[in-house]
A and B are shown apart, each in its own frame.
Chain A
């Protein structure tokens, strides 16, 4: 059963607002009294994903679905897609532009860190079409 679903729109290359959706999600989870450790994991996964969308993906959405037994984050963009997913998942692999590196991004740790923090992580991508990520966080442990 889905108790609540919320969709946030993310704009590519917009660094003024980049990360806002994840901060909102974090505040929302805090207000419903979720365990701080879990909030941190969800916040970080949302944020790494949101920053990827802003830097690499382009326009898209970050959604959160709150169920009785789990919380799910969905990332969905219409960007250039990822050619080699296995490579993209490698720690340290990054195609980030220098201007993003100067802002402290582009370490190539985002996708691996998302995978590590989520209980379930799935990514699919089509070149020229976009990228979708689903991250599930179980509420039962």
Chain B
């Protein structure tokens, strides 16, 4: 599905990447452990996390995820937004918890990083 659809499903706010809502997303991973994302390499994937750190964005960049979602309405510090803008990676904020955010996406067909449902 398109990133714009993910925005709708999560009722998310788009902090960065309004120009990239046409991006195709098929998989997702959720973690507060950076290694879990770094070990699950996949394309066209979205990365949900509760950690609004600059390292979460750098992890997203090197793992080449298509978008980052900060859950539970957590607003990242300004420097995190700046880095995401500079590096052109979309950042969304979901008002839902990690559990519910993942559940909503999975119910609509987003699979795990390994492609399993």
Residue numbers of A with Cβ under 8 A of B are: 15-16, 18-20, 22-23, 26-27, 36-37, 39-41, 43-44, 46-48, 51, 103-105, 107, 109-110, 113, 117
Contacts and interface: CB of A to CB of B under 8 A. Distances in A.
B51 interface: yes
Contacts of B51: 103-104
Dominant secondary structure at the A interface:
helix
A49 to B, nearest CB: 11
Nearest to B61: A23
A137 B26 CA distance: 28
Interface band, chain B = 20 to 34
Nearest to B62: A43
Given A23-B87, A48-B38, A105-B34, A18 B55 contact: yes
A47 B35 CA distance: 10
Contact of B54 (A16, A43, A117): A16
A107 B54 contact: no
Nearest to B39: A113
Contact of B62 (A46, A103, A104, A109): A46
Contacts of B56: 104
B15 interface: no
B85 to A, nearest CB: 14
Interface string B36-76: 10110101000001010111101101111000000000000
B32 A104 contact: yes
Nearest to A105: B34
B41 A103 contact: no
B58 A104 contact: no
A44 B38 contact: yes
